[in-house]
Amino acid sequence: MVTASELRTGMGLRMEGRVYKVLEVEARSGTAQMSGSVNARLSNVRSGRIWDQHFRPLEKLENVELDKHRIEFLYAEGENCVFQRLDSYEQIEFPIEALGMAARFLESGAEVTAEFFGEEAIGLDLPDTVEARVRETAAPARSQPDSGRKEAVLENGFRVQVPLFVGPGETVRVDLKTGRYVERIRAQHRKSA
């Protein structure tokens, strides 16, 4: 058991027989006449449905342990991506829809962390950004203003708007939430990273 004031992002809770993962927590202090509150955004681990809930700071809640295991991406098949646990070699499927844009950038052999409730896989910890090589784009224009953009096609076929100075064969970083260009990766930075 934990109190609502002890809630942290990533924790698991059991409420009314359902298991939720805490996505966001905001504590509001009270005034002389009103007690504070804890606002939490929760995600049902089975349905994915989001629920915004308010708690009193000293309200007792049942916390549950969410385990993390490394898994390896194997392949995409139909509407699912198939992964394998590295510790037990058990295969696990996640809907492509649940992975969002990250599904387009996964390559066979890529390792990510999965969250489990008991033996059931409930979510993936995916990176915020990914590096990808530019397959096609117009030749770089060095004398143009930095604010200009052009379309580039990445090796996986994904299209993204990049600055005018980015050329074919260069590596760029893409935000997986928005699908937007973040920065160009210079060769010397890649070797030191």
- Domain containing 120 — which CATH number? 2.40.50.140
With bands split at pLDDT 50, 70 and 90, how would you rate the model's confidence at 133? Answer: very high
Instruction: Compute the mean pLDDT over every residue in the chain, rounded to the nearest whole number.
Output: 86
| Same domain, residue pair 73 and 117 | yes
| Same domain, residue pair 72 and 33 | no
Domain range for 158: 129-192
| Same domain, residue pair 80 and 118 | yes
With bands split at pLDDT 50, 70 and 90, how would you rate the model's confidence at 170? Answer: very high
Report the alpha-carbon distance of residue 19 to residue 13 in Å, rounded: 6
Please report the pLDDT score of residue 117 as a whole number. 84
The per-residue pLDDT for range 74-120, each reduced to its tens digit, is 999 999 999 999 999 999 998 888 788 888 888 889 899 998 888 88
Give the residue-averaged pLDDT of 15-37.
Answer: 81
Number of independent structural domains in the chain: 3
Please report the pLDDT score of residue 60 as a whole number. 93
Final residue in a domain of this structure, among 80, 104, 125 = 125
| Same domain, residue pair 34 and 58 | yes
> What is the H or E stretch that residue 104 is in?
helix 102-105
Kindly state the DSSP code that residue 6 receives in the 8-state scheme: G
| Same domain, residue pair 12 and 57 | yes
Please report the pLDDT score of residue 104 as a whole number. 87
Final residue in a domain of this structure, among 85, 110, 125 = 125
| Same domain, residue pair 54 and 26 | yes
Final residue in a domain of this structure, among 48, 64, 80 = 64
Report the alpha-carbon distance of residue 95 to residue 124 in Å, rounded: 11
- CA torsion sign for 99, 71, 75, 170 is positive
| Same domain, residue pair 162 and 109 | no
